[in-house]
Chains A and B, each alone.
Chain A
């Protein structure tokens, strides 16, 4: 755990002085323009590169965070079906089925920058980063390396997520040493549960 915080402190030394309050897409713009070298961000960042006319493999490279190939941290949009009157239940079941249609899952995710929730959807329509995302998901799923993203409410309930966020942010801002952060994290998570 301490090593994780030590590594984050190291990464902090590669960030410019103006990062505070910057939107993630402006950080993407730095990489697009070449004033920044790289950005650690979810797959929605790809949309910024594509909008700027950049091509995967030619103008930018997508990789898993070094050392995490085989693992995928995810968040998943879902359509939750609610209890409705009997007159609406047939249409509800039809919609549930349509969402799971492989053609919809392909068409939707090509546009959205994410990958299908089904692992059996053909990858022809996706760009190289999308194809890699689909292969990585299948690999992580098969190897037990698929984990809910803490930052998006998939890793833990909100109280725990917020407790972790606070400690990690304080450490990143230099208010806590790695040793202190490890202890604070344990205390904060225990208090939140």
Chain B
């Protein structure tokens, strides 16, 4: 590097930090893109907003409802393309990895290490909160899908014992059928059926062969190649 280039760079850096300093004094702001717009969800998110505002951080809300996040991803694409990404974006699963691969996400290693996130966040979640070894996201929650919701009176009429095996499940379902109700209440929207089958499906397709871990390893190793 020539001395002239170095001097120019140093001057530029000084200007940049001065500018950043004055802005930081003026206002700390987060702009948050999310689709938690229904009553209960909005109330839940408000807890976060109030916590930040009590620390002097202004919350700029960017709600994009609809489509389980698809509309939000479209809005995000436009902002990132314009070079003006929001501060934080609600996101799920492999979408996170897709954005991380484009080198547009921030690095949270300092705060994550200071607060010991690695010790309290399950490793399976960290697969989505970290990319290439760096923290890029704060996980909010865990929804889980392998639940069965049973009407208590209907269960009592079918013997009263919650099934613990496939055979016990079939026995309860048969009994409910005899009792004249629809044993399995099911919706047939596209994309819902695999969830219904997942518990047995996942045991053979995912738990033993684990396509996910092989896939994510392959995808992760790509950027370092």
Mark A residues whose CB is within 8 Å of B. Answer: 1, 3-4, 7-8, 10-11, 14-16, 19-24, 26-28, 30-32, 34-47, 49, 57-69, 71-101, 104-105, 107-109, 111-120, 133, 136-137, 141, 145-158, 160, 164-165, 168-169, 172, 185, 189, 193
Contacts and interface: CB of A to CB of B under 8 A. Distances in A.
Contact of A66 (B104, B169, B177, B202): B169
The interface size bin for chain B is: 35 or more
A90 B43 CA distance: 25
Contacts of A15: 182, 184, 186
Nearest to B173: A14
Given A3-B204, A78-B140, A38 B151 contact: yes
Interface in B169-203: 169-170, 172-173, 176-177, 181-203
A103 B100 CA distance: 28
Given A62-B148, A95-B57, A81 B94 contact: no
A79 B147 contact: no
Given A1-B204, A74-B125, 8 more contacts: A31-B151, A39-B148, A66-B169, A68-B202, A81-B105, A95-B30, A101-B51, A148-B124
Best-surrounded residue of B90, B136, B151, B169 (most CB of chain A within 10 A) = B151
24 contacts: A14-B177, A27-B187, A35-B181, A37-B172, A60-B150, A66-B148, A74-B145, A76-B125, A77-B139, A78-B129, A78-B137, A79-B89, A81-B138, A88-B28, A88-B29, A91-B30, A92-B88, A95-B138, A98-B55, A147-B212, A149-B144, A151-B145, A151-B191, A168-B197
A87 B24 contact: yes
Contacts of B176: 14, 37-38
Nearest to A34: B151
Chain A contact residues: over half helix, strand or loop, or mixed?
A: mixed
A41 B111 CA distance: 36
